[in-house]
Amino acid sequence: MRRKNTSSPWFAETELQVQFFDLDPMEIVWHGNYVKYLEIARCALLDKIDYNYVQMKESGYAWPVIDLQLRYIASAHFGQILKLRAEIVEWENRLVIHYQISDAKSGQRLTRASTTQVAVDIRQGEMCFVSPPILFEKLGVPYVEN
C-alpha cells in the first residue's frame, strides 16, 4: 500500500462539464451523480492500462465494486468544468482506486472517493482472494505466486 505523499504510476485524468440534467432542485450537482463521475474517471484509467470492462470479461474475470467511499467537500454547479482523477493504489488482492474531483480552473477539491473491486472468476462465479495474473500483466508488475 502506498504512503499518502507518494503518487501511483497508474493514474488518469479527464475533464467533464457539468450538465443541467445532473442538477438537483437546489441547482447543484445531485449527490448521486458523483458516482457516475467516478465511473468516467475509472474507465479513463482502465483504458489507459488496456484493461477496461471488455478486456476484463475477455480475460475471464468480472471486477464488481464491493465498497464505495465518498467525501463531499464542496458543490459542483451547472457549466463548471471538473477535473476527474483516478489512481490505482492497491492491486495485489483487490483493486483499490482513489479519486479526486476538483474544479479544473481553480484546482479546488470538491470530492474525494475510493472504490474497492475484487476479481470474480466468471466461469466458476467465485471471488478470487488474490488478483489474477492478467492484472499484474496490465500494470507491468511481476506476478509472484504465494
Instruction: Tell me how long the chain is.
Output: 146
Query: Does pTM surpass 0.85?
Result: yes
Q: Are 33 and 75 in contact (CB under 8 A)?
A: no
Q: How far apart are CA 36 and CA 23, in angstroms?
A: 13
Residue 75: what pLDDT? 97
Residue 146: what pLDDT? 63
Q: How far apart are CA 102 and CA 40, in angstroms?
A: 14
pLDDT digits (tens, 9 = 90+) for 77-107: 999 999 999 999 999 999 999 999 999 999 9
Question: Does residue 2 carry a pLDDT above 80?
Answer: no
Three cell numbers written together for 3:
504512503
Q: Are 37 and 45 in contact (CB under 8 A)?
A: no
Residue 145: what pLDDT? 77
Q: Are 15 and 81 in contact (CB under 8 A)?
A: yes
pLDDT digits (tens, 9 = 90+) for 29-69: 999 999 999 999 999 999 999 999 999 999 999 999 999 99
CATH number of the structural domain 11-139:
3.10.129.10
Average pLDDT over residues 128-133: 96
Percent of the chain with pLDDT over 90: 92
Q: How far apart are CA 24 and CA 3, in angstroms?
A: 37
Q: How far apart are CA 16 and CA 144, in angstroms?
A: 38
φ and ψ at 99, to 5 degrees? -130, 155
φ and ψ at 40, to 5 degrees? -60, -45
Give the domain ranges of the chain. Answer: 11-139
Share the mean pLDDT of the chain. Answer: 94
